[in-house]
């Protein structure tokens, strides 16, 4: 079995998923490495009856379920106290189901295969995760997007989720100025901006000023998910679905404690 040919096209997206699940590039990539090492040692662990993408994610969950999920749940519950901490003690399985469907675009039947659950169970898990993730996470959102229609769609979606939009910037300089004027609790950031400036540069300057989660938006996510340099933890592909944005926002806020300046 040629694993590079079979699984190579899916690895950038598995990295994205692992990072969203763990809340960091370092932690997510560590689980990816552990999964690939285990797979290389014993290729028979892959169920060839599954599609390549489902099989890869399913195997990743074998590794995650045996280590990360249990450790994460135990550690977070020991320190849970306030509203944000209670959200972070959410059982990992509902969060996994929610991300598999909303962020990664799997059908519910495929998510059921990956998690080893029935479709009815997956449906209930998604409902549970969505309720818990969306509660007590209201914040102020800065949108950095030079396409007016996309910016309007994002603003409507963010507002529908109960957040306040502080503004929309179409250039790097405008984004930094708006962030200074009204410090955000979350940033949605395009990669290529109106004056050919870089959304990544804007994000870096904002991060130098504020501790804030940033979700990047791009039509070419595979160019940023190479594993060869620092990469965004949260990444949305264009064109995007509303549920994908909701999932990314939920995870970004889920893992990032709210600060007083962004409250």
pLDDT digits (tens, 9 = 90+) for 127-159: 888 777 666 678 999 999 999 999 999 999 999
Q: Which domains does the chain have, with CATH numbers?
A: 3-134 (1.20.140.160), 140-262 (3.40.50.2300)
**Arithmetic mean of pLDDT over the chain:** 81
165: helix, coil or strand?
strand
User: For 24-104, where are the alpha helices, taking DSSP H only?
Assistant: 25-41, 52-66, 68-79, 83-88, 92-102
Instruction: Extract the tokens encoding 162.
Output: 């109960």
Cα 203 from Cα 109, distance rounded (Å): 37
Query: To the nearest whole percent, how much of the chain has pLDDT over 70?
Result: 79
Quick one: DSSP state of residue 257?
A: P
Is residue 133 within 8 A of residue 96, CB to CB? The reply is no
pLDDT digits (tens, 9 = 90+) for 22-58: 877 888 888 888 888 888 888 777 766 678 899 999 9
Does residue 70 surpass a pLDDT of 90? no
Q: Does position 228 have pLDDT exceeding 60, yes or no?
A: no
Please, which residues have CB within 8 angstroms of residue 102's CB and are 6 or more apart in sequence?
126, 243, 244, 246, 247
Q: How confident is the model at residue 224 (pLDDT cuts 50, 70, 90)?
A: low
Mean pLDDT score, 190-210: 90
**DSSP category for residue 192:** B
* DSSP conformation class of 168: E
| Entry pTM | 0.58
Tokens of 163: 């957040």
């Amino acid at each position: 079995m040629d694993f590079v040919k079979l699984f190579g096209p899916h690895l950038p997206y598995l990295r994205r998923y692992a990072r969203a699940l763990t809340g960091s590039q370092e932690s997510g990539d560590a689980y990816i490495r552990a999964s690939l090492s285990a797979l290389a040692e014993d290729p028979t662990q892959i169920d060839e009856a599954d599609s390549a993408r489902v099989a890869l994610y399913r195997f990743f969950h074998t590794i995650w379920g045996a280590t990360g999920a249990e450790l994460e749940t135990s550690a977070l519950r020991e320190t849970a106290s306030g509203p944000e901490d209670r959200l972070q003690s959410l059982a990992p399985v509902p969060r996994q189901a929610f991300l598999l469907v909303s962020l990664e675009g799997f059908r519910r039947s495929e998510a059921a295969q990956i998690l080893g659950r029935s479709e009815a169970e997956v449906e209930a898990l998604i409902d549970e995760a969505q309720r818990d993730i969306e509660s007590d996470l209201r914040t102020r959102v800065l949108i950095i997007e030079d396409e007016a229609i996309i910016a309007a769609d994002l603003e409507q979606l963010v507002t529908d989720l109960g957040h306040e939009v502080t503004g929309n910037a179409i250039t790097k300089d405008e984004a930094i100025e708006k962030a200074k004027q009204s410090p955000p609790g979350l940033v949605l950031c395009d990669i290529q901006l109106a004056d050919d400036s870089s959304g990544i540069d804007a994000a870096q300057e904002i991060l130098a000023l504020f501790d804030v989660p940033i979700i990047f938006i791009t039509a070419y996510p595979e160019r940023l998910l190479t594993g060869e340099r620092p990469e965004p933890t949260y990444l949305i592909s264009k064109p995007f679905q509303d549920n994908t944005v909701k999932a990314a926002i939920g995870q970004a806020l889920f893992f990032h404690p709210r600060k007083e300046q962004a409250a």
